[in-house]
Amino acid sequence: MAQEVLTYIAPSPGKTYIDMTFGAGGHATKLLEHSPNIKIFALDRDPLGFECAKQLSQRYPGQVIPLLGKFSELPQLLEPYNIKENSIDGILFDFGCSSMQFDTASRGFSLSKDGPLDMRMDGFRCPKQLTAANVLERATEEDLTRIIKVYGQEKRAKKIARAIIDSRYMFKKLETTKELAQLIESTLDGEIRRDSLGRFSHSATKTFQALRIFVNNELNEINYGILLAQIYLKLSGCLITISFHSLEDTIVKRHISGNITDNVANTVALKYAHYGKTFDKDEFERLTKIPWKMMHKHVLIPTAEEIETNPRSRSAKLRAIMKVK
């Protein structure tokens, strides 16, 4: 949805933007081509995305600043550049996995490519972080059920969790994407599923989504990231979010309405990293009262032509919102 991003973020010379999910740099490149005299802070938690940002920075020296880290690490990453509150013109989030991650079998994100059950968006940057295989090996049946049901919105979560527990005693531990996909497929008796567009969907898709979200703490990171966007954006600055499933979009909608405290994130964990403290009660209430204004009436979805050329975009939902008083 590159054209929609350009339309609403409206890049112009001298302005500063943050691409919170740089990936391969598709959106950032479009912004720079449209208006070369801008500055972009290119954030990605994946070292591969960081390398792509460094390559783009060589083409646009002084205009693209690569940053390696999660949304929650943004304040300390911006500190060396003396970025103040209310100073950024636009911020872009493109949630979920990048095509690079899906296309690399060794990352463990894809059902169609056999590889280790890793799923860490940070790669080996955080060696102590649990992998999907670690979760499947150590979690209780109750915890697995909750993870798969809540993060994957999987109706057969209990049955899948039971099968995973049983597998621990029947054969070696689950270590590859193929092993997990085959286990779920056999557990659900080859159940045929289709997505909202009527396309075939593998029976393990929702479980893979759930494990990925859990391993990467994605929902808390999204919640925190949007809080930081409120802090760094100028008045009338534009925030664009592109989400790919309802859990991501729900968080965005809650921020628009000012309701972010219900079952989304642990407020104690929302550390204001730049100052080394948690959000106190008054500050948190102030942030939740800052209203956002939608820049379009209804959520935007990709055109049929874009879906045809990029099938992965079919579930995308774009929201462009403006920071107002």
Domain with 81 in it: what CATH number?
Answer: 3.40.50.150
The dihedral through the CA atoms of 163, 168, 169, 170 has a sign that is positive
Q: Is 13 exposed, middle or buried (0-12, 13-18, 19+ CB in 10 A)?
A: exposed
- Claim to verify: residue 227 and residue 309 sit in the same structural domain: yes
Q: Is a pLDDT exceeding 50 seen at residue 159?
A: yes
> Which residue among 216, 233, 249 closes a domain?
216
What is the structure's pLDDT at 189?
82
Q: Closest Cα partner for 98 from 88, 107, 85?
A: 107
- Claim to verify: residue 191 and residue 133 sit in the same structural domain: yes
Cα 135 from Cα 170, distance rounded (Å): 18
**pLDDT tens sequence across 43-56:** 999 999 999 999 99
CATH number at residue 168: 1.10.150.170
What is the structure's pLDDT at 291?
75
- Claim to verify: residue 109 and residue 204 sit in the same structural domain: yes
For the ranges 79-88, 130-139, 176-185, 280-289, the lowest mean pLDDT is seen at: 280-289
- Claim to verify: residue 111 and residue 199 sit in the same structural domain: yes
Kindly report the pTM of this predicted structure. Answer: 0.86
Cα 86 from Cα 234, distance rounded (Å): 4
- Claim to verify: residue 200 and residue 71 sit in the same structural domain: no
Residue pair 51/205 in contact (Cβ under 8 Å)? The answer is no
- Claim to verify: residue 93 and residue 234 sit in the same structural domain: yes
Phi and psi at residue 114, to the nearest 5°: -70, 130
- Claim to verify: residue 23 and residue 42 sit in the same structural domain: yes
> Which residue among 216, 231, 260 closes a domain?
216
The count of domains in the chain is 2
Please report which confidence band the pLDDT of residue 310 belongs to, taking 50, 70 and 90 as the band edges. confident
What is the structure's pLDDT at 39?
97
Question: 207 lies in which domain range?
Answer: 105-216
* Residue 306 burial (CB count, 10 A): 17
